[in-house]
């Protein structure tokens, strides 16, 4: 990840908006599809078809693993069920009543990227799980309110953390949001908590002042239980909660506009 935060022109942001629109269409379609008995692979196939028909490229497919011992990501969506946090690999697994599934989708269109995620409840879920989904989404929206010129990057991180922790849940610290543009992952890193000065997360600039033209992919990952997560040693991708409690994930790509946030990954 480069150290420099790359500013985008209004024309470039307009292109990112088009990529983001496809992501939103795909996430809406997932919302209509999820039901008991549906496999995560079926969701992946449908999204891949939608992206390609729209003239886009699925960004996650063949994305190289952080650890080169593992194969590249094999699918167009990340499908993470229940205690899986992010980066779940679509499979023949059937969704069941009471499950939750986090779906993350990235699209490149005319060279520009869009990235967003939502968590869906399958059938009837418990009260606490319902609350988890509500709080994770509201923490994202609180963060987005801070995406305006003159605010600090730490205001964005802090907004997520406050909303989550005041509701008794915990934020995942090992995975973070990111700048986005011609590349899916650009500077800066956007943690969902305020780092202590000693943590020095590489590429996180808490004092960075937001400026018009920055584009941020903000993505709270929130656990019912403790914040620790592990990566599956067999597939090298699936991230799950160490205490096996459920986890939710909401994400938008958001531009800093002159008058405030512009959400790019909506219809």
Size of the site for Mg ion (CB under 5 A): 3
Q: For the window 112-131, what string marks contact with Mg ion as x by the rule CB under 5 A?
A: ---x----------------
217 lies in the binding site for Mg ion (CB under 5 A):
yes
Both structure tokens of 196: 């202590």
Identify residues 223-242 at the interface with Mg ion (CB under 5 A): none
User: 10 Å Cβ neighbour count for 129?
Assistant: 20
- Cα dihedral 257, 258, 260, 266 in deg (nearest 10): -30
Least distance in angstroms from the C-beta of 153 to Mg ion:
16
Cis link prior to 188 (omega < 30° from 0)?
A: yes
Residue 31 · residue 125 · CB < 8 Å: no
Q: Closer to Mg ion at the Cβ: 48 or 219? A: 219
Q: d(Cα 259, Cα 261) in Å, to the nearest integer? A: 7
Q: Closer to Mg ion at the Cβ: 213 or 220? A: 220
Q: For the window 6-45, what string marks contact with Mg ion as x by the rule CB under 5 A?
A: ----------------------------------------
Tracing tokens 């886009």 back to the chain, one arrives at 56
Query: What is the C-alpha radius of gyration for the chain, rounded to an integer number of angstroms?
Result: 17
105 lies in the binding site for Mg ion (CB under 5 A):
no
Q: Closer to Mg ion at the Cβ: 115 or 155? A: 115
155 lies in the binding site for Mg ion (CB under 5 A):
no
Least distance in angstroms from the C-beta of 219 to Mg ion:
5
* Alpha-helix runs per DSSP H in the chain: 10-33, 40-53, 127-144, 153-166
Least distance in angstroms from the C-beta of 178 to Mg ion:
6
For 7, residues 6+ apart whose C-beta sits below 8 A from its C-beta are 211, 212, 213, 214
Piece of the chain touching Mg ion by CB under 5 A; list 43-51, 66-74, 167-175, 215-223: 215-223
Q: Which residues bind Mg ion (CB under 5 A)?
A: 115, 217, 219
């Amino acid at each position: 990840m480069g150290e420099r935060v790359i500013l985008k022109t209004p024309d470039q942001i307009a292109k990112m908006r088009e990529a983001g629109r496809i992501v939103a269409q795909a996430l809406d379609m997932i919302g209509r599809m999820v039901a008991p008995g549906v496999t995560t692979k079926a969701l992946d196939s449908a999204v891949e078809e939608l992206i390609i028909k729209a003239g886009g490229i699925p960004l996650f497919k063949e994305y190289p693993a952080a650890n080169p011992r593992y194969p590249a990501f094999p699918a167009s969506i990340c499908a993470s069920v229940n205690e899986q946090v992010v980066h779940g690999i679509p499979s023949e697994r059937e969704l069941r009543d009471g499950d939750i599934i986090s779906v993350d989708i990235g699209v490149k269109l005319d060279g520009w990227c869009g990235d967003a995620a939502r968590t869906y409840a399958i059938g009837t879920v418990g009260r606490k799980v319902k609350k988890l989904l509500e709080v994770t989404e509201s923490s994202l929206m609180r963060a987005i309110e801070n995406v305006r010129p003159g605010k600090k990057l730490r205001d964005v991180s802090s907004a997520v953390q406050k909303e989550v922790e005041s509701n008794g849940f915990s934020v995942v610290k090992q995975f973070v949001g990111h700048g986005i543009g011609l590349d899916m992952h650009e500077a800066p890193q956007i943690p969902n908590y305020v780092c202590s000065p000693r943590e020095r997360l590489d590429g996180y600039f808490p004092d960075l002042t937001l400026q018009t033209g920055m584009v941020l992919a903000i993505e709270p990952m929130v656990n019912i239980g403790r914040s620790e997560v592990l990566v599956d040693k067999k597939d090298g991708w699936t991230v799950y909660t160490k205490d096996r409690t459920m986890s939710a994930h909401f994400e938008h790509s958001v531009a800093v506009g002159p008058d405030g946030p512009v959400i790019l990954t909506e219809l």
